Structure 1
Amino acid sequence: MKKIITITLLSFLSLVNAQTKVKPTKGLKIIYTRSSNGKLIENQDAILVFSSKSETLITSEKINNGKALYPFEQSLINRSENKVVQVTQLQKEKSVTTVDSLSLAKQTFEFLAETKTILGYKCQKAKTIINSNTIELWYTNELEIKGAPTSLGQNIGLVLEMVRNGNFVISASKIEKIKNVNPSLELQKYTTKSKLIDGLSYKDLVWKSRFTTIKVFENEIINFSDTSKSNDSILRFANGTIILKKIKFPEIKKSDLLFLDLIEQSNGDAYDRTGSVFVIPQDKKQSFLDGLQYGSKTLPIYENGNGKQYQGIVATNEYTPIIELMRFFTPFGIKQYNYIQLKDKTWHETVPYRMDITDLKSNISGKTVYVGTFIGNYDKGGHKISMNITINPSESSLNKNNISIPLFNTTNVMEMAGQEYATMFNHEKGLEVTFVVDKEIKNAKLRYITTGHGGWENGDEFVPKKNTIFLNGKEIFSFIPWRQDCGSYRLFNPASGNFNDGLSSSDLSRSNWCPGTATNPIYIELGDLKAGTHTIQVKIPQGANEGGSFSAWNVSGVLLGE
């Protein structure tokens, strides 16, 4: 357990001031602005620095004006004590503090002969390299006070400009001389009482405070057992191979980014399995939840002429299929089978999956929805997972999609409750869905996930097959989904048997998936879709049955646009 130092920020600053006899003295107030690639960054919160001969406070204009949003961070540099005090106000009545006694002493610079004038003061140039970033500092000694807009270069002079890698610049825009300045007291104006904690704990708390974490599942078992039961929090279906939880999402801003994090380990199952994280839309008369509660046969049926019936896989006027947030594949027995020893193999304990799901935020923003996870398995121990969704604020998100319409999902997440495998591609019609667009959609695209399965060595799991997508009867895209990097994940797969040819099963290339990975969606440009009726068709040359084995294709598609 990390040790928490039980001393408040106020008492710490008082102690430092007493030791160093810090009193209000003549000083400076400097405003710095940021620019990138020669352009001033819009709507920025300018850096504000108060500096005396012994101390420097790095804050901001919004903090100084009482308009800063939580969390916000400030730094106090005490040069006589060679200390950096960092304070983050997490909430109105909660802040955390840490003290670094070493960082200033560790800074090294190359001092160069170049000079230039900034705001009327002659500046010299210093250079340093941090984490492969070249930082150039322009500093002056004409004001006889030291300081900088970051903790870097606090002892070399008054830094008026910082240039990172030649394209990101922090530069002083105004210098104001102040009769009486005490940076320590300035810091106390903007913060509440705060306990000092160690640097690593501080960094962790501050990092986590910058985004919203929604816990979905924590150490939940997904297995196959008649004894799997629901409780007040977690619903279990299909003999425990599906877990479901109702989640209330806050309003998600247009610029925010959305990420899904899942951690998996074997709790008994030795095999690689298909997994899917999904949301159940309930915007129409019927939903996938009806199938979970009352059986797969209650879901709308899709038929294409091959003699089989496929339950709940395509959108209709009265039904919306599940929205796949992430398709993932478990490795062979991670954690549970780590006792298997091979030379030069140290097995990983868990496998992490992380997926950007920003495209789909309109389906959950401000809504209460069911979020589920499926892992197809027939093992009583099964698998153990934990899962979070994070909302990360962003000032300049490149994602412009505000329309997200689920169209199809052939992944039979109710596999253990009788939902048919996705074998419809053995017929020339393949998969076809007709949908109505109420108004024109600009820059439409299909978020498409595809993986091939089954048939052993001659099946579509191990044989490349072309996927072709048609819009309104016209071919618009085709490609061969194939992964050749599966051997990179060998250390996730302790139970993957070794073959006589020197390979293991987890090394083999597959139809767009590897044991221990998630499958990325691809984006198929559809152009502008006019209001009215449209049809999307997916064709794949599915392999023929071989004895008792057969091939299948799990494909999901969501219509995106503006």
Structure 2
Amino acid sequence: MKKIIIAFAAILSTLYSTAQSTVNIMNGVVFFDGYASVVSDPTPAGVIRFRNDLLTKQISSQQLDSIGDQLTIKVTISALCDNYDRIGGVNLAMVPKGSTTYNTETVPKIEIGRFITPFMNKNVQPTSVPYTFVVNNIAQILNSSELNALYDFWLELEVFGVPYAANTQVSGCSGRNDVFQGRVDFITNNSNSNYDPSVAIMPLSFKANFNNYQAGASDAVGTTVKTINFTTTQTIYDAKFYLITSNHGAGNNGEEYVRRVHNVSFDGNPILTYTPGGKSCEPYRQYNTQGNGIYGSTPQSTSWWTNWNNWCPGDTIAIRKISLGTLTAGNHSFQIAVPAAQFSGQDGNFPLSLYLQGSKIEVLGLEELNHSSFTLFPNPAKDAVQIQTEKEFSAIELIDASGKRMLTETKNTLNLIGLDSGIYIIQVHFTDGMKSSQRFIKQ
């Protein structure tokens, strides 16, 4: 069995290059005063400006074809005329196929990365800060043939900034309203050997207001408890929540700076307790080139930082992955509570983003192949594939990327003529009631 697994890995390695490559998605985009009217300044080719703080560009089919099953998103933010710490993020919008633009408020979309800008002076090096997000689960979405048949994928880069302080504090910024410049790159491995062919995705909350003073921002005014109810129409395997929260505002020494315990429950059961922060901000001091009230003039100890700070100017915000296992079809409830939160003078917010992702079919992961109860060959194959097993079986099914069963056979040979090229699942049903699955490549 080990020899077969090694051979299988060798075939995949030959078929797909594992070398990393960098794909530029967006470059040279400029953000302007977030409170001002939308500017008319030109944008780079293909980029649409929805707001001064929000720009978008479609990920081309050629770029999608280059994305493997591993993906890191690198965002580079450069200083212009905002020298304060601001919130930014990267969003993936799923836009109806063939659209030349879209309504960013109504299309399904998910936040896939959030960051805080440092206090940057554009005249002091370094004048840019890099942020990286390892988002292999997003690669699964971008590779899904089912989702690609329904949607075009657009990448949004969002950075809210204002130039008012820099207008007087930063040389060369008098009278200007440009605040930051941005770039987004995809770093990928160009391999689909660990590709999930049947992705389930449910956007549940996108930067929703979460506070205790605004109607609709929590379950009830005066509380910091927010419940999100949703319904799944089918079983979702290997289901995971992807959760982003960060505290902002609430006055001097308020929620922006005071660490609070967050409690998360699912279907009435506690599943996660976390307190944001808990790390030293010293590694990001180099990017904070403008004098500010957070860093001071001398380095601080780790215990000093972790005693109070939720996040670091110049750092990413954590993406919290919560594994649920198999999620049965039906009604479900996600709840988050921050019982100690205090919002001074009805100020401050916990922007809440949440989505659910999993698989529509139950498939063995690559780490489980050593325990598979059958072998198949050749793989890849063009016209036919044979299954070999010592156990008695009742049926063999071939399942496509959307979860649709394309073939069912009671013999150990599957005829592949007429099937499109791509990655499929072969699932063997044994007479003892067990079943086993493997990924398979049709040339």
Q: What interval of TM-score do these two structures reach, taking the shorter chain for normalisation?
A: 0.5 to 0.7
- 2:320 matches 1:522: yes
Deviation at 1:45, TM superposition (A): 5.4
Superposed CA RMSD in Å reads: 3.9
Change (3 A) 1:230 1:272: same
Residue 103 of structure 2: SS of its match in structure 1?
helix
Change (3 A) 1:523 1:276: same
- 2:297 matches 1:485: no
Equivalent residue number for residue 42 of structure 1: 7
Change (3 A) 1:496 1:406: farther
- 2:174 matches 1:404: no
The structure 2 residue matched to 1:439, chosen from 234, 251, 273, is: 234
Question: Separation in 2 of the partners of 1:392 and 1:456?
Answer: 44
Question: Separation in 2 of the partners of 1:241 and 1:424?
Answer: 26
Equivalent residue number for residue 417 of structure 2: none
Residue 41 of structure 1: SS of its match in structure 2?
helix
Equivalent residue number for residue 124 of structure 1: none
Give per-residue Cα distances to partners, 1:371-430, cap 9 Å, x unaligned: 111111122120011111233234764989833322112257xxxxxxx99953864373
Give per-residue Cα distances to partners, 1:209-244, cap 9 Å, x unaligned: 944543221121112154344656221123x11111
Q: Which amino acid aligns with 1:472?
A: D
Q: Which amino acid aligns with 1:535?
A: S
Question: Separation in 2 of the partners of 1:508 and 1:458?
Answer: 14
Residue 410 of structure 1: SS of its match in structure 2?
strand
Question: Separation in 2 of the partners of 1:400 and 1:427?
Answer: 45
User: Do the aligned residues in 2 keep the contact of 1:542 with 1:551 (CA within 8 Å)?
Assistant: no
Change (3 A) 1:257 1:558: same
Deviation at 1:266, TM superposition (A): 0.8
Residue 384 of structure 1: SS of its match in structure 2?
strand
The structure 2 residue matched to 1:218, chosen from 20, 27, 34, is: 27
Q: Which amino acid aligns with 1:560?
A: Q
Question: Separation in 2 of the partners of 1:505 and 1:410?
Answer: 32
Equivalent residue number for residue 80 of structure 2: 267
User: Do the aligned residues in 1 keep the contact of 2:129 with 2:287 (CA within 8 Å)?
Assistant: yes
- 2:340 matches 1:556: no
Equivalent residue number for residue 386 of structure 1: 183
Higher RCO (CA < 8 A, seq sep 6+): 2
Deviation at 1:359, TM superposition (A): 0.9
Equivalent residue number for residue 200 of structure 1: none
Unpaired runs of 5+ residues, structure 2, are 164-176, 360-443
> Whose radius of gyration is greater, 1 or 2?
1
Identity %: 22
Instruction: Say how many residue pairs are matched.
Output: 323
Segment of structure 1 superposing worse, 271-280 or 427-436: 427-436
Q: Which amino acid aligns with 2:133?
A: M
The structure 1 residue matched to 2:56, chosen from 237, 240, 244, is: 244
Return the TM-score normalized by structure 2.
0.62
Change (3 A) 1:525 1:511: farther
Q: Which amino acid aligns with 1:355?
A: F
Equivalent residue number for residue 332 of structure 1: 119
Residue 351 of structure 2: SS of its match in structure 1?
strand
Give matches, 1:161-200, under 5 Å. none
Question: Separation in 2 of the partners of 1:411 and 1:518?
Answer: 19
User: Do the aligned residues in 1 keep the contact of 2:162 with 2:179 (CA within 8 Å)?
Assistant: yes
User: Do the aligned residues in 1 keep the contact of 2:28 with 2:182 (CA within 8 Å)?
Assistant: yes
Q: Which amino acid aligns with 1:323?
A: I
Equivalent residue number for residue 540 of structure 1: 338
Give per-residue Cα distances to partners, 1:100-151, cap 9 Å, x unaligned: xxxxxxxxxxxxxxxxxxxxxxxxxxxxxxxxxxxxxxxxxxxxxxxxxxxx
User: Do the aligned residues in 2 keep the contact of 1:543 with 1:551 (CA within 8 Å)?
Assistant: no
Deviation at 1:368, TM superposition (A): 2.0
Give matches, 1:139-538, under 5 Å. 210-211=19-20, 213-224=22-33, 225-226=36-37, 227-229=39-41, 233-238=46-51, 240-249=52-61, 256-282=69-95, 289-290=102-103, 320=108, 322-333=109-120, 336-338=122-124, 347-365=125-143, 366=148, 367-379=151-163, 380-394=177-191, 397=194, 402-410=199-207, 424=218, 427-428=222-223, 430-497=225-292, 508-509=305-306, 512-538=310-336
Deviation at 1:260, TM superposition (A): 0.8
Change (3 A) 1:246 1:505: farther
User: Do the aligned residues in 2 keep the contact of 1:401 with 1:560 (CA within 8 Å)?
Assistant: no
Return the TM-score normalized by structure 1.
0.50
Deviation at 1:443, TM superposition (A): 2.6
User: Do the aligned residues in 1 keep the contact of 2:279 with 2:305 (CA within 8 Å)?
Assistant: yes
Give per-residue Cα distances to partners, 1:131-183, cap 9 Å, x unaligned: xxxxxxxxxxxxxxxxxxxxxxxxxxxxxxxxxxxxxxxxxxxxxxxxxxxxx
